[in-house]
Amino acid sequence: MSPDLVSETPPHSLHAPNALNAPLSPLSPLGPLTPNAPHAPLSPNALRTVVRELAEQPEQWIHLVRLSTDERWYQRLVAEDDHEVWLISWLPGQSTGFHDHGGSRGAFAVALGELEELSLGGPDQGLLIRRVPAGTARAFGPEYVHDVRNTASGPAVTLHAYSPPLSSMAHYDLRAGGLVRTSEEGPEQW
């Protein structure tokens, strides 16, 4: 396992109280924020809870989902000082390419469909390929680099949370010697 990946808790063992009982609002799903207070980043496990709980409530977001043949479709659902949540749809063949999260911690949950995640597991493991079916949530630390793709025959819908909110993302090519950084983008491109 990559040292920056937080191991997954099986969905049936999560008994956290439901923090998203009301429609999405400007309030954080983790509770109201104190104005002007410094915000420590949420942990990967806290972010996993956010996306898992939201994925289990499709009535909160399903009406927003769009499918795009040009590229993955996405919409930010929550924008708070300490975290953000994105809704993303994937058609077969769409992928992110290898990318980081600009130092943010993150988590994603597959709400519908199935995805595949590629990451480098270290010198002894090489390239890791994981199937990520509906109902699965993955969480990761600030240095994690991966490629997420839809290799299935149907669409997929995911929820992603980042803390602090994304400020940049670098993209990488996988070459014989490992990952090579090729570009960086910022919020103005999202």
pLDDT score at 38: 63
- Spell 69-104 as b/e; 16+ CB within 10 A means b: eeebbbeebbebbbbbbbbbbbbeebebebbbbbeb
Dist CA 43 CA 15 (whole Å): 17
pLDDT score at 51: 98
Q: Which of 109, 117, 121 is nearest to 3 (CA)?
A: 121
Q: Could you list the mean pLDDT of each consecutive 10-residue stretch along the chain, which spans 190 residues?
A: 43 31 40 57 97 97 97 96 97 98 98 97 86 98 97 98 97 93 92
User: Tokens 């995640």 sit at which residue?
Assistant: 117
Q: What is the DSSP letter of 55?
A: H
Q: Which of 14, 81, 26 is nearest to 51 (CA)?
A: 14
User: pTM for the whole thing?
Assistant: 0.80
Burial class (CB in 10 A: 0-12, 13-18, 19+), 41: middle
Going from the C-alpha of 21 to that of each of 10, 31, 58, 59, the distances in angstroms are 22, 12, 12, 11
pLDDT score at 17: 33
**SS3 of residue 95 by DSSP:** strand
3-state SS string for 18-46: CCCCCCCCCCECCECCCCCCCCCCCCHHH
Pair 160, 96: CB distance under 8 Å? no
pLDDT score at 162: 98
CA angle 5, 80, 134 (to 5 degrees): 45
Cβ neighbour number for residue 22 with a 10 Å cutoff: 9
